[in-house]
Amino acid sequence: MNELDILLGVFIGVVTGIIPGLHVNLLIPFLGNTILLLGIAVSHTFFDFIPSLFLGVPDEGSAVASLPGHRLVMKGDGIKAFRATAISGFLSSLLFVLFLPLAYSILRSRLVVLVLVVLVFSLVLFSSRSIGVSIGLALASAGLFYLFDGYLSSTAMFVAFFSGLFGIPTLINAFVSDSRIPEQVDGIPRVRISFAFLASFLGLIAGLLPGITSSMTGLVADLKTEMEDMARVFLLGGINTVYLLSSFLAIWIIGRPRSGVAIALEGHGITLIPALFVAVSSSFLLAWFIGPWIARIYARLVNRTTNLVVMTIVSGIVISQGGYAFLLFLASSSLGIIAYYLRIRRTVCMSFIILPVILNYFL
C-alpha cells in the first residue's frame, strides 16, 4: 500500500465516474482490498456528477441531483454546476470531522435512529405533490425489492433499480424529443458555507443510518421549494462525498462499515483516515482542472446517437449482473417512465429502501 496507489485510484475513479451507470461496488471483485479502491471510490463521487448532469444518468449518490442538474445544463450552466459539486464535496469533507462527536452521541440510541429513519421516510414520501400516486409507486418499488431479494446481490439490485428509475426515462425523453445541450459557460458558482455544513451533517447521517442513502437525505433540498437549482446541486455534491467518507468511519462510530467499498477495505484500519483526505484533495484538484474539460466533451457528444449508445452501455452493465437484474431493470424503467410522464418525483420510489429497515425495528 502506498501513496501512489491512492493517486492511481483517483485517476481510475475519473474514468469510472464518467461512465454512466457504473457503480464502484462492481469493481470490488477485481480489486479486492487494495487501497487503489479507496482512491477510485472517492474520485468516483466527484466525477459521477458529469453523467448525472449531462445525460441525466445518475448512480445511487447523485440520483437526486440529476433532475435540477439537468435543468442547469439545459440553461448552459452545466460546468458551473459541476464546479459547485466539486467545491461542496471538498469543503464538506473537511467540515464533517466537526460533526463526528455529535453523530456519535446521537446514534448511540436505537430510538433516535428509528425516529430519524421514519422522519426521512416521511419526507421522501409526503413531500410529493400527488400523495396517492406516490404511495402507489413507492409500494410498487417495495414490491419489486422484495420480489428480487435473494436473487440478486445488493450492488446488482441498486445498479438495476437506479439505472432504470432515473437513467432510462431521461434518456428516452432526450431521444424522443431530440433535445440538444446548449453551449456551456464556465464560471465559479456561489460558495455557500452554510450549505457545506448542512451537507456534512446530512452526509454523515446518511452514511451511518441503516437503510438511508445519500440521495434520500438530499431530499431535504426539496423542503425548500424556492431553492435555486445551483444551491440544490451544491448541497448534493457535498452529501455524496461525505456519505462515502462516513461509510468508512462507521466502523469506529457504530461498529460496522456501511458501504461495499468500506467493507472491502475494513482491514486497513486507521490508515484509511489520512488516505481518505489524500484522495479527497487530489480528486478535488482533478475535478477542478480537468472536470470542466471532460464536461465540455460530454456536452458536445450528447445527441440522439449517443443517447442510444448510453442506453446500450447502461443495459450492458445491468445485463452483466445477470438475467434477474435485467428483469428488475425493465420493471424499474417502467416505473420511472410512468413517474416521469405523470410528473411525480421519482425519488419517492426510493422509499422502498427504508421500508424493510422500519419493519425490522418494529417486528
Partner 1 sequence: MGGEGNENFEKDIVLLALLVLLVSTAAFIAVRRTETVYSLDPSLIGKRVTVQGKIVHRINANGVWIAFLDTGASKIKLVSFSGEPSNKTSFTGRVAEYKGDLELVIGE
Distance CA 119, CA 111 (A): 12
Q: Which is nearer to partner 1, 234 or 298 (CB)?
A: 234
Tell me which residue has cell 447523485.
Answer: 62
Q: Which is nearer to partner 1, 37 or 63 (CB)?
A: 37
Q: Which is nearer to partner 1, 168 or 275 (CB)?
A: 275
Report in angstroms how near the CB of residue 29 gets to partner 1 at its nearest. 22
Q: Which is nearer to partner 1, 282 or 351 (CB)?
A: 282
Contact (Cβ atoms closer than 8 angstroms) between residue 221 and residue 232: yes
Distance CA 269, CA 9 (A): 18
Stretch that binds partner 1, among 43-51, 157-165, 183-191, 322-330 (CB under 8 A): 183-191
Identified binder of partner 1 from the candidate list 132, 150, 178, 188, rule CB under 8 A: 188
Q: Residue 286: which of 39, 58, 70 has the closest Cα?
A: 39
For the chain, state the CA radius of gyration.
Answer: 19
Q: Is 32 in the site for partner 1 (CB under 8 A)?
A: no
Identified binder of partner 1 from the candidate list 270, 323, 362, 363, rule CB under 8 A: 270
Q: Is 87 in the site for partner 1 (CB under 8 A)?
A: yes
Report in angstroms how near the CB of residue 190 gets to partner 1 at its nearest. 6
Stretch that binds partner 1, among 87-95, 122-130, 319-327, 343-351 (CB under 8 A): 87-95
| 63: CB partners within 8 A, 6+ apart | 52, 162, 165, 166, 215, 347, 350
Q: Is 189 in the site for partner 1 (CB under 8 A)?
A: yes
Q: Which is nearer to partner 1, 71 or 304 (CB)?
A: 71
CB atoms within 10 A of CB 302: 18
Of 271-300, binders to partner 1 (CB under 8 A) are: 271, 273-278, 280-282, 284-285, 288
Chain-centre distance for alpha carbon 319: 21
CB atoms within 10 A of CB 288: 15
Report in angstroms how near the CB of residue 275 gets to partner 1 at its nearest. 5
CB atoms within 10 A of CB 122: 12
Contact (Cβ atoms closer than 8 angstroms) between residue 211 and residue 357: yes
Q: Is 363 in the site for partner 1 (CB under 8 A)?
A: no
Report in angstroms how near the CB of residue 291 gets to partner 1 at its nearest. 13
Identified binder of partner 1 from the candidate list 101, 182, 187, 316, rule CB under 8 A: 187
Report in angstroms how near the CB of residue 288 gets to partner 1 at its nearest. 7
Backbone φ and ψ for 336, nearest 5 degrees, come out as -60, -40
Cell numbers that stand for 34 in this block: 487494495
Cell numbers that stand for 79 in this block: 460546468
Q: Is 45 in the site for partner 1 (CB under 8 A)?
A: no
Q: How far is CA 63 from CA 49, 76, 217, in A?
A: 9, 20, 11
Report in angstroms how near the CB of residue 213 gets to partner 1 at its nearest. 27
Q: How far is CA 108 from CA 32, 64, 101, 116, in A?
A: 31, 29, 11, 13
Q: Is 260 in the site for partner 1 (CB under 8 A)?
A: no
Binding mask 191-230 for partner 1 (x = CB under 8 A): x---------------------------------------
Q: Residue 243: which of 206, 199, 198, 273 has the closest Cα?
A: 206
Q: Which residues bind partner 1 (CB under 8 A)?
A: 1-3, 6, 80, 87, 90, 94, 186-191, 269-271, 273-278, 280-282, 284-285, 288
